[in-house]
Amino acid sequence: MGTAEVRTFCRLCTAGCGVLVSVEADTVMKVRGDKAHPISQGYTCVKGRSLGVAHHDPTRLNEPMIRRNGRLVEVGWTEWLDDLSGRLSSIIAGYGPSAVGGFYSGGSYFDASGHRIGQAFLSALGTNSVYSSYTLDSPNKPLVADLVGGSVRLFPVPDLEGTEFMLIVATNPVISHGHGIGMSNPLGRLRQIRSRGQVWVLDPRRTETARAATRHLSARPGTDYAVLAFLVRELLSSGADQRYLEDHVAGTTKLKRTVAGFDIDTVAGMTGLQEQDLLDLLSAVRRAGRVSIVTGTGASMSRTANVLEWMAWALGAVTGSLDRPRGTWFNPGFFRQNDRSTFQPAPPEGNVTPGPLSRPELCGRNNQLPAVAIPDEVAAGNLRALFALGANLVAANPQTRRLTDALRDIEILAVVDIVANETTEFATHVAPAAGPLERSDLSTSSEIFQSSVVGQYTPATVPLSGGRRPLWWIMAQIADRLGLDVLTGGLDPHRATTDDVLAEMAAGARLPFSQVLDGDGPVFAETSAIFGWVLGGAVLPEGRWRIAPPLLVGQLAELTHAPGPLVLIPRRERRQLNGFLRFLQETPMPEVIMHPADADRASVGDGDVVTIGTDIGEMQGLARIDADMSIGVLSIPHGWRAPSSVNDLLSGEHDIDSLTGMPTLSGVAVTLRRGSTR
């Protein structure tokens, strides 16, 4: 049998690059970029090219397993499903549906049918115990969209084809390919923008993206928002788009009062930036007129996440850039079609729901509870069963020991994933899910982050192996045994195929599913950004952006800055995707990037094993000394196992944002010493 080459697209991040997969029988021989793909044009990163290695990873799960006498043992699917559904029925009967919860993450987000049916299962169950990784890295984004625009469905995306000024704040798209933006071939994209304008980066480290930018400013961690507040203040004084403000914005006067204190002296003192740098940035924004702003996890994991995101929206409004060419647009989605949907604007406080019973100081938002509450809910007896759907919960949550103690006590931990990981070590039930190359799929997870209104279908590249099953099928079988219907269109969970489920999902798309199915690549409804549907439609509350939400105004007024002499910031890695693709790593533990001055103070040399500590715990890594790092800042990635897990330093009990339940994961004061953990 010869080698076949199958066209598909990567589902590891929002870029969705086109790839060609060479297959012999059921073996993946090679993965390379697809030059015919009209968006990525042959580009793919090392993570995308590793899809074949990941498919054959020895840690792949192959058969369903149940924990018996302390060990996971392989069983058949009927036994697995009957055992799990029987135990779930008892819990629901005794404690109600909210005693069963679900936590989902990237492994299910990028599985169109799996994510849809997983959500449908939790909804049909009637549980309030829904969690996701969203509450651990970027809940500030839907919060601000809700408060300013009245809907979490409004997700701002830069006009990549038209912008002449891009400000990138605390994110590194050259490595991550965008956090909240799909940026294939990021260096090429940045070069294109620089050819017609400027790219500025605001980050404590001179990242790979900063090296490709027009200018790089290194503000102290957690003070980025003050730079944007300074810009908003000065533009409101001179240079704002007054017609836009009059026609489309409510609360301008209140915003002006709110940012009045962010004068150049104050902001220079807070951020550590030179006054001339701030003036240069202001002049560049004024010359450009409209701006596009990209924020990322370096900001959204900090104490000031909400106000930073708010100031990004405010700067967009003051410059007349929201829903306007050369600024920011709102991709309605090829499948979602938000521009053809009915909006019910959220109240001024946003769509708030009751929080976890064990943590009354927290609230629910976006139909989710904060993931930091999981250990408390287990300890209180409120959460007795939990599904981890494509999610390494242990690698994602702060204060690892507190979480793992809870997972040891929970009655049911059902993990549906493609590889064994730290979370499967605590599971009572493990289900082997189809990997990205083993399932047909749609680009529903990445569509609103793209630079055009585009949809894509892919067939499965290789057949399913062993006992692996699609995530949607697993959840539909459990639902069927519980008497729940989670499939639409009259589909039978015992006869339906993945394509049947995808066809139902695509039934209301911009173009017929048959056209998407036959596309052999991306199918464009619009080849570029579309503007005006938000400003010109019945979307915004009373037709205007609420640019000074009381909750955010109040939070800004309460902010204080007392950073330690040394703080940590997060980092995306070229050769690892959070807790996935660890086999790509070239070092036995994470590199801790530090400035030479901080290394000298701790008597640390390049390549030394170092211990990072807080009052929560310790972790170890390898020192990497780099003058491109700001003094007083350590760059540490997430996703590593203990004793190199940054989660061991971070609290899930204290320093939690009151509006989102987001734990503080960036800007945390730490200690540094040479040598391994005790």
Q: Average pLDDT in the 290-312 region?
A: 95
Query: What angle do helix axes 77-95 and 471-481 make, rounded to 10 degrees?
Result: 60
Per-residue pLDDT tens over the stretch 452-479: 999 999 999 999 999 999 999 999 999 9
* Beta carbons within 8 Å of 276's beta carbon, 6+ residues apart: none
- What mean pLDDT is reported for the chain? 95
Q: Average pLDDT in the 61-74 region?
A: 97
4-55 and 65-136+348-526 agree in CATH topology: no
Q: Does position 678 have pLDDT exceeding 60, yes or no?
A: no
CATH architecture designation of domain 4-55: 2-Layer Sandwich (3.30)
The sign of the dihedral angle between the CA atoms of 499, 486, 131, 333 is positive
CATH architecture designation of domain 159-331+533-558: 3-Layer(aba) Sandwich (3.40)
The two structure tokens encoding residue 237: 């004084």
Q: How many CB atoms lie within 10 A of CB 250?
A: 18
Per-residue pLDDT tens over the stretch 306-328: 999 999 999 999 999 999 999 99
pLDDT given for residue 309 in this prediction = 98
The sign of the dihedral angle between the CA atoms of 125, 126, 129, 134 is positive
Per-residue pLDDT tens over the stretch 466-512: 999 999 999 999 999 999 999 999 999 999 999 999 999 999 899 99
Q: Give the pTM.
A: 0.96
pLDDT given for residue 384 in this prediction = 98
CATH architecture designation of domain 65-136+348-526: 3-Layer(aba) Sandwich (3.40)
CA dihedral of residues 632, 638, 642, 647 (deg, nearest 10): 70
Distance CA 130, CA 148 (A): 25
CB 291 within 8 A of CB 282: no
Distance CA 285, CA 279 (A): 10
DSSP H helices, 544-595, are 550-558
Phi, psi of 617 (to 5 degrees): 175, -165
Per-residue pLDDT tens over the stretch 601-610: 999 999 999 9
Strand-pairing partners, residue 156, are 330
The two structure tokens encoding residue 267: 């902001």
Phi, psi of 406 (to 5 degrees): -65, -40
Q: Which long-range contacts does 264-270 make (Cβ < 8 Å, 24+ apart)?
A: 264/230, 266/226, 267/226, 267/227, 267/229, 267/230, 270/220, 270/223, 270/226, 270/561
Look at the domain 567-674 and name its fold.
Barwin-like endoglucanases (2.40.40)
Per-residue pLDDT tens over the stretch 546-578: 999 999 999 999 998 777 799 999 998 887 777
For the chain, the domains span: 4-55, 65-136+348-526, 159-331+533-558, 567-674
Query: What angle do helix axes 275-288 and 224-237 make, rounded to 10 degrees?
Result: 60
Query: Omega before 643 cis (within 30°)?
Result: yes
Beta sheet of 4-9, edge-to-edge order: 4-9, 18-24, 27-33
Distance CA 517, CA 519 (A): 6
